[in-house]
Chains A and B, each alone.
Chain A
Amino acid sequence: MSFFDLNGTLKPLTALKQFGKKPHTISYPKESKEAAPRYRGLHFNDLDECIGCGNCSMICQNAAIDMIHIDGIEGKKGDSGLRPRIDNGRCCWCALCVEVCPTGSLSLTKDYLYVSEDPDSFLWTPGKDNPNGKEQISFFSTEETSLNVFNRVPMPELEGKERVKSFAEVVLGYSEAEARAEASRCISCGLCTEVCPEHMHIPEYINAIATGNDADAVRIIYDNNPLPEMCGKVCTRRCEDVCAIASRGEALAIRWLKRYATETAATAEITREIVNPEIREANGKTVGIIGAGPSGLTAAYYLALRGYDVTIYEANAKAGGATMYGIPKYRFPIDSLDKQIDYIKSIGVKILFNTKVGKDISFKEIYDKFDAVFMGVGFPDAWPLGVDGDDAKGSMQAFRFLYMINSGEKVDVGDKVVVVGGGNVAIDAARVSRRLGADVTILYRRRVKDMPADWEEIEGAEDEGVHIVPQGIPIKIHKDEKGHVKAVEYLKAKMVPDERGGRPKPVAIEGSNTVIEATSVMAAIGQMGDYSFLPEEFTDKIKIERGRFVVNEKQQTGDPKVFAGGDAVNRTADAISAIADGFRACKAIDEMLGKK
């Protein structure tokens, strides 16, 4: 190369030809550039759709999101009442929060400019501070792109045709791999814990199952529920109603996962070995419990662990209360119940069977004998149907029918059964009748979607060939010459919206009389308590209102020494609420007697 290179000196001057060309840049703010349709700018949150699960806050690796209370949004079932607030000084707009948002309420917008002199104003609540952000949404998650796993691992079950042949358990339970897969869908938001009457540690035990620590899961579960296998099979599982994943998918199978964990401990001895509870030294205090149902057993178990001498008086030959005598064995086999009762007994709880308070022993005697008394007496009686012909042979209460079947008695229902009602008892009675070989019709006043029964139970009944007649109000039971049920007459109903905002009411349509043939009619329209064991001297203090004991928040009745729980107290009348009552009562009794 020569010292002077003509070409190399002149070539750079070709840059001059660029003069007059349109530049790359735009003159902001006279013109501005529209962000791309997928742009990841400032956040927007649909405050009504958001359920405050805090998943966004959990995934944010910059810790830029915290969950705060904002005015006008109150917590309710399935909504923590909290909303995410973004620290835009920390955010890196990775949008993982958007990808894991189970409701899809959180998204990013095309907005990318925010200027302020006040550094505190960089903390802002999307949706509240940019209410018009909805039109700007650019980066959002759909069910396809979301990182939540929306589909539940299906539970293996017996075929409908197989089921009606016997009382074999319908639900077969998850295998280990299935349980791990199902558990790993959980996002640990804890909305379920909030709504569970017993506030079980749901995210914790699900996490233990997901990571393969079944024994840990069992220990966590037994921390506040001594009858978890029962809950794992028949719980009403309000937790699943509020599951965050259910906003766009299928709720976690929380009940089935609990069932899986507890079934890994096959016997009472293994359960004892795994749970290995710390039993405190006997403190010399005694507690008497009336009724070995879920509430009584719970109070007994946790009191025994705290060193109390606990005795349960049970009128029947077996413990479990309504879960033993009310729930059919294809849902909750007797071995499973026995295992849990044996475990509770192994802690030192004494149960006196076939001892009816008021008959075999007086309430006064128990009251005087023990330092505290807990009544978990339940609802042993059922409401009669109360229509013309109700006294016919073959007209019975479903609850009574289930009691007899579960006690091993034989009941002849004939070949055509009509069950009146739409709750779990109605479905249970219907499915049991199917197993006895009858054709079954369920007559319900409202629509199928209004039925209070568990949707899985309703589906199960339909699979087994139970016929459901919705919007039918029974008015008469026809008898044959021997006084036996012959048919049921009902009126069709139309749904009328409730003026007070309640659920629509069924109103009978005049002249729409329909008759179905029947050999048995079962009323499943509710149960009631039997408080005849309570002597008059106590009823001043122990108040009963609308068929239930009146208790304070510690389950304490008007008599400070007497506590109550279960169906005879709470209106939800399910096992988990009873367990919660028992647990609360245990803590209150311990608090009361511990001070003395």
Chain B
Amino acid sequence: MEKKFLILQKNTQDKMREKATTLYIGPQHPGITGNMMVKVQVEGDTIVRARTEVGYLHRAFEKLQERRNWLQSFTLLCRFCVPEPDPVEESYARAVELLEGREVPERAKYIRVLMLELARMGSYMLWYGGQSGSLGLYTIGQWTVGDRNYILDLFEELTGGRVYHMYIWPGGVRRDLPEGFADKVLRTMDYFEKRLKDYDDLMFENTIFQKRTQGVGVIPKEKAVEWGVVGPVLRGCGIKSDIRIDDPYEVYDKLDFIVPTHEGGDIWSRALVRRQEIRQSIRIIRQVIENMPSGEYYNRIPNPFKWTLPKGDAYARTEATRGEVAMYIVSDGSIHPRRTHFRGAAYVHGITLLEKILIGENVADISAIMNSLGVCPPEIER
């Protein structure tokens, strides 16, 4: 910290700035997690100043929703964050249900949790690839991205889509579980339980990974909450915070799982948190399959062309792999949203936090730090 502070101080002095070199990392850079740019000033290998630049991927989804009806809006949501679209759908669906007072059948709640946890695992499989790849460890990514396909197969069977599921919608879910689906899920979980050991051997037991991540990209615990850090990144600072526990939704309060935390605030701690969360997701999925009640899966909405929501606003938040993702909707009583606003973890992590913690780090670690924060540029800009 002291080192950083000194550099910050020096940074203000003009003569030092003259010595610095400016580098543009992104938007077309394999180490960047998507279409955004980090403009860094380096002295030697050390970053003295970092500025993020976004604007390559703005699709104005929030504005578009104002011209779509309440059902049409739902199909835009999955594009907020491609690797893990389901928590966004979940937040929107719950916000709409909250505003309308629409009941969701118990079975639908279980199916939603199943979806969300499968999505969490799928997203972490991609994270494995990104995190290890950013350090030059490419084998792990080959494995995990390949294994992620087994989860995508499940999605395909359940929802009809592999990546864009468009499955969790207001009132419940779109289709019931197909026959024999629960067994397939359990078999896939068995596979992952065995498989996780292989990843550990290559990643967490690997000296290169340990040395490159321990003490790198540190977020001070006392600043974390103030800076708006959420999700696994916050838990990697040793702070226990998870919406599934703090503000339980669906049936999370009926399930038995723990929220892993790690002191340290560095890439290593965040990686450990994620690794342990996969284990917890498997645990949750097993419980969901076991306890899922029979019955309705959908409390049908009225004719979508005439479906209005009462005047008012609603806010619903969901725990995603990036942290808290939330949807705020405002209705003026018409068939369109008057305003929607999306709160994603990637905005805080990818813009304000990244600019702070990059200072003093080695330029070669930019990619590893970005990956460890779960920065998703499509979500920042949406």
Contacts and interface: CB of A to CB of B under 8 A. Distances in A.
Contacts of B205: 7-8, 11-12
A336 to B, nearest CB: 28
A188 B304 CA distance: 11
B334 to A, nearest CB: 8
A6 B214 CA distance: 18
B156 A35 contact: yes
A142 B46 CA distance: 62
B303 A148 contact: yes
Nearest to B161: A40
B147 A185 contact: no
Given A24-B149, A38-B159, A183 B202 contact: no
A187 B206 contact: no
B160 A12 contact: no
A9 interface: yes
Nearest to A112: B162
A145 B301 CA distance: 11
A207 B304 contact: no
A14 B201 contact: yes
B207 interface: yes
A188 B175 contact: no
B206 A8 contact: yes
Nearest to A184: B306
Contacts of B137: 12
A557 B202 CA distance: 94
Contacts of B71: 59, 96, 147
Contacts of A148: 303
How many residues of B sit at the interface, in one of the four size bands? 35 or more
Contacts of A39: 156, 160
Contacts of A186: 303, 305-306
B291 interface: no
B302 A149 contact: yes
Contact of A211 (B76, B158, B202, B308): B308
Interface string B60-75: 0000100010011101
A216 to B, nearest CB: 15
Q: Which among B64, B143, B164, B305 has the highest number of chain A CB atoms within 10 Å?
A: B305
A216 B290 CA distance: 54
Nearest to B214: A1
B202 A38 contact: no
Given A8-B205, A14-B198, A94-B164, 16 more contacts: A8-B207, A8-B210, A14-B201, A15-B201, A25-B146, A38-B156, A38-B159, A40-B160, A58-B305, A92-B75, A93-B161, A94-B75, A100-B305, A147-B71, A148-B303, A188-B305
Given A38-B178, A61-B72, A1 B202 contact: no
B363 interface: no
Given A59-B71, A61-B68, A147-B71, A14 B175 contact: no
A61 B160 contact: no
Nearest to A11: B205
B300 interface: yes
B126 interface: no
Nearest to A41: B160
A186 B304 CA distance: 10
B207 A138 contact: no
Contacts of A36: 153, 156-157, 160
Interface string B91-132: 000000000000000000000000000000000000000000
B160 A139 contact: yes
Nearest to B306: A184
A9 to B, nearest CB: 6
Contacts of A95: 160, 166
A108 interface: yes
Nearest to A187: B305
Contacts of B157: 36-38
A5 interface: yes
B21 interface: no
A429 interface: no
B64 to A, nearest CB: 8
B339 to A, nearest CB: 17
A419 interface: no
Contacts of A7: 205
Nearest to A94: B75
B28 interface: no
11 contacts: A1-B210, A8-B207, A11-B201, A14-B198, A15-B202, A18-B143, A18-B198, A36-B153, A37-B178, A96-B72, A186-B306
A210 interface: yes
Contact of B306 (A18, A35, A183): A183
A11 B303 contact: no
A38 B175 contact: yes
In the A-B complex, the 10 residue pairs with the smallest Cβ-Cβ separation, listed nearest first, are A8-B207, A24-B146, A40-B160, A11-B205, A61-B72, A94-B75, A184-B306, A36-B156, A38-B160, A36-B157
A378 B75 CA distance: 56
A9 B207 contact: yes
B139 interface: yes
Contacts of B304: 59, 96, 100, 147
Contacts of B303: 147-149, 184-187
A207 B306 contact: yes
Contacts of A35: 156
B84 to A, nearest CB: 17
Interface in B206-239: 206-208, 210
B206 A11 contact: yes
Contacts of A93: 161, 164
Contacts of A187: 303, 305
Contacts of A108: 160
B293 to A, nearest CB: 19
Contacts of B68: 61
